[in-house]
A and B are shown apart, each in its own frame.
Chain A
Amino acid sequence: MSKELILILVFIAAMLLGYRLINAVPSLLHTPLMSGMNALSGITILGIIAVTTLAGSVVGKLLGALGIVAALINVVSGFGVTDRMLRMFHSNKGTKEESE
């Protein structure tokens, strides 16, 4: 099987799996879910790191560095705010009920 085909198949499989999993998330958590997904889209940092190392010119490297900064903010801030939000969700009677 060619590499291209594998990549496309992975794309489709991940789409379908993602769709199924997201469907199970209650609307209560849609905002944190969205910002979490947003953080994940910063995965593009892997790509930008790889191409920055290949760039020959200084301009190329600077553009790469800009991309890394952008992607990293996307990742770290995204996970950061998601964590902040999720920790705010509290149960009714605190620890007493959670142990049930």
Chain B
Amino acid sequence: MSDTLYYIISAVLSLGVLLGIRLMSNVKTAVLGNRLSALCMLLAIVATMARTDFTGSLTYIIGALLVGSVLSVYMAAKVRMIQMPQMVGLLNGLGGLASSLAAVLTVLTGSMLGKFELGTAGLALGIGALTLSGSLVAASKLHGIFPQKPIIFPAHSALTGFAALVLVVLMVLLPISAQSTHLMLCLLLSFVGLLFGWLFAIRVGGADMPITISLLNSSSGVAASIAGMALGDILLVSVGAIVGASGLLLTLIMCRAMNRRLSQVIFSSAGKQPEAVQKEVADAAGEPLIGETESTKETDTSAEAAQEEAPQKAAQESDLDSWLGEAQSVIVIPGYGMALSQAQELVKQFTDKLESLGKTVRFAIHPVAGRMPGHMNVLLAEVDIPYELLCEMDEINPDFPNTDLVIVIGANDVINPAANTAEGTPIYGMPILDAGKAKRLVICNFDTKPGYAGVDNPLYNPHESILLLLGDAKASIETLLSKL
């Protein structure tokens, strides 16, 4: 196959991939878009096979393709929706592994490599290696193999910074040193790359994991793209870059939704704070709610505003009958707690029941609900909840004050009004769902402990229009169902 023909094919397939992504922007065409991308990928593999000379390697390649296909079909069919974040993490790691192997083999077997090829190969190797170890650590944390909490070593930041520095030095050294040192340099690059990825991911706490996963998604694309530069493969460069850009964009979206800077996630310990500060914050957030109306300075938190007028008596479970009966509009706020107790099916039944009684039900989805961007939507779609009912935060927030009843299921930080007031806490400034502004609020959470961010939630204080249903989400929804 001539180079010109390959370039034309590359251009067509790149456009196909871009069109596939374009189709992903609409729910109705998304399935088609994904299949179009997959088809382009298949054609790309066929085109590559057609232009390579296999002599001597055919058995290895065919064998590898067979093994890979069997394993992947099995994995894709087996994985459960709640495990999707770690699945994506694992697959990311495999992509990083492949890119770094491609880079190593390029350096070690290629003949007459210029500085550009060597430099890009080194870069691809380093990024691929850190993607591999970082993704595996992230996936292990999400899967519960490693503890979810951030693990921080003494001088962790210094170590991470040092590893990054060594990585850069090695990348610079590779193209300017003699061929005899290449094997050694490649080994060192892999080692330091793996070390950096591990140091980076091990200190990330559960709440920042979605950001980490999407960042690693980006780096796996960048690794592929740069490996493509080393190989002079234009298709690899373009598709890899598209992936890199998308991962980066999703990362920034997540950061914005969680009110964190990217640098904080990478270099600082996430969501951890000294006990004392936490206590103080809890007091500060809780105080105005206990009824000291004169001392309230913050007027933006609705819960407080509501509290001021009311005698502070907690709502009783017996109030549920009338609450459910009177409510015409209901908003459900699902959180990861719902998924953990596998309560989605019951939530679906509950939704159907409410709708059959002529009430309107919608779901308010916080951008970081679940363990990766958009995870909650998938979990709800899995139990056949129509996607029209799933509303984004900005779209639904203005509607809370006119909503009769809000039901929170296993969500905590994303509805915590302390995010508006408690300065110095990890969630301060994070956009939240204004559940506290609704006329009545039912919170079905496991307990009243603070969420991942470790900040107490003032909505848990006794209030006549807030009902706490503590315990397993499944049991709480069953209680709700029994009242209908």
Residue in chain B with minimal CB distance to A44: B224
Pair B69/A37 contact, Cβ less than 8 Å: no
1/0 contact trace for B23-54 toward A, CB 8 Å? Answer: 01101101100110110010011001100111
Is there contact, CB below 8 Å, between B382 and A88?
yes
Tell which of B14-22, B259-267, B419-427, B476-484 binds the partner.
B14-22
Q: Of the candidates A8, A51, A73, A83, which one forms a contact with B94 in the assembled complex, judged by CB atoms under 8 Å apart?
A: A73
Verify A72–B68 contact, CB threshold 8 A: yes
Query: Whole-angstrom distance from the CB of A77 to the nearest CB of chain B?
Result: 4
A35 to B106 Cα, complex, angstroms: 28
Contact-residue bracket for chain A: 35 or more
Are B221 and A37 in contact, CB atoms less than 8 angstroms apart?
yes
Contact A86 B25, beta carbon cutoff 8 Å? no
Contact A80 B388 (CB under 8 A): no
B330 at the interface (CB under 8 A from A): no
Asked if B238 lies at the interface with its beta carbon under 8 angstroms from chain A, I say: yes
* Other-chain residue from B79, B237, B378 in contact with A32 (beta carbon distance below 8 A): B378
Stretch at the interface among B84-92, B455-463, B465-473: B84-92
Q: Are B386 and A71 in contact (CB under 8 A)?
A: no
Among residues of B, the one whose C-beta sits closest to the C-beta of A43 is B239
Q: Is residue B338 contacting chain A, with contact meaning CB distance below 8 A?
A: no
A42 to chain B, nearest CB (A): 5
Instruction: Note all chain A residues with C-beta closer than 8 A to B238.
Output: 10-11, 13-14
Q: Which residues of A contact B63 (CB under 8 A)?
A: 65
Q: How far is the CB of A86 from chain B (nearest CB, A)?
A: 5
A25-B245 contact, Cβ under 8 Å, with A11-B225, A68-B65, A76-B69: no
Task: Flag if A18 contacts B243 (CB, 8 Å).
Answer: yes
Smallest beta-carbon distance B392→chain A, Å: 6
| Interface-central residue, A11, A45, A51, by most chain B CB under 10 Å | A51
* Complex Cα–Cα for A6 and B10 (A): 14
The residues of B that contact A61 with a CB separation of less than 8 Å are 56-57, 60
Complex CA gap A44/B97 in Å reads 10
A96 in the interface (beta carbon within 8 A):
no
> Which residue of the partner chain B has the closest CB to A92?
B386
Q: How long is the Cα–Cα vector from A31 to B116 in the complex, in angstroms?
A: 36
Say whether A41 contacts B61, CB under 8 Å.
no
CA distance A46 to B65 in the complex (A): 12
Q: At the interface, yes or no: B134 with Cβ under 8 Å from chain A?
A: no
Q: Is the CB of B247 within 8 A of A37?
A: yes
Q: Would you call A26 and B392 a contact (CB within 8 A)?
A: yes
- Residues of A within 8 Å of B41, CB to CB, are 39-40, 42-43, 75, 79
Report yes or no: B101 in contact with A34, Cβ–Cβ below 8 A. no
Is A41 touching B234 in the complex (CB atoms < 8 A)?
no
- Judge whether B109 and A56 touch: CB under 8 Å: yes
Closest residue of chain A to B75, judged by CB? A77
Residues of B within 8 A of A75 (CB): 41, 72
A52 and B105 contacting across the interface, CB-CB below 8 Å: yes
- Asked whether, in the complex, the Cβ of A28 is within 8 Å of the Cβ of B65, the reply is no
Distance in Å: Cβ of B14 to nearest Cβ of chain A = 7
23 contacts between A and B (CB under 8 A): A18-B243, A21-B21, A22-B249, A22-B250, A36-B37, A41-B223, A44-B224, A46-B45, A46-B228, A47-B102, A47-B106, A47-B231, A48-B98, A51-B109, A53-B52, A64-B105, A65-B60, A69-B71, A74-B98, A76-B76, A80-B77, A85-B378, A86-B31
Interface positions of B from 94 to 144, Cβ below 8 Å from A:
94-95, 97-99, 101-102, 104-106, 108-110, 116
8 Å CB interface, A80-100 against B: 80-93, 98
Of the candidates B45, B57, B73, the one whose C-beta lies within 8 Å of that of A55 is: B57
Task: Determine which of A28, A54, A60, A82 lies in contact with B377 in the assembled complex, contact meaning CB atoms within 8 Å.
Answer: A28
Tell me if B242 counts as interface (CB < 8 A to partner A). Answer: yes
Q: Which of B22, B243, B378 contacts A24 (CB 8 A)?
A: B22
Q: Are B110 and A54 in contact (CB under 8 A)?
A: yes
Q: How far is the CB of A80 from chain B (nearest CB, A)?
A: 3
In Å, the complex CA distance between A20 and B448 comes to 42
Given A18-B21, A63-B101, A67-B101, A36 and B34 contact (CB-CB distance below 8 Å): yes
**A residues near B18, Cβ cutoff 8 Å:** 17-18, 21
Q: Report the minimal beta-carbon distance from B231 to chain A, rounded to whole angstroms.
A: 5
**Additional pairs, 14, CB under 8 Å, beyond known A19-B248, A92-B388:** A7-B232, A7-B237, A18-B244, A22-B246, A28-B27, A40-B221, A42-B91, A49-B48, A66-B64, A68-B61, A76-B76, A77-B87, A81-B76, A89-B27
Which of B91, B228, B373 is within 8 Å of A77, CB to CB? Answer: B91
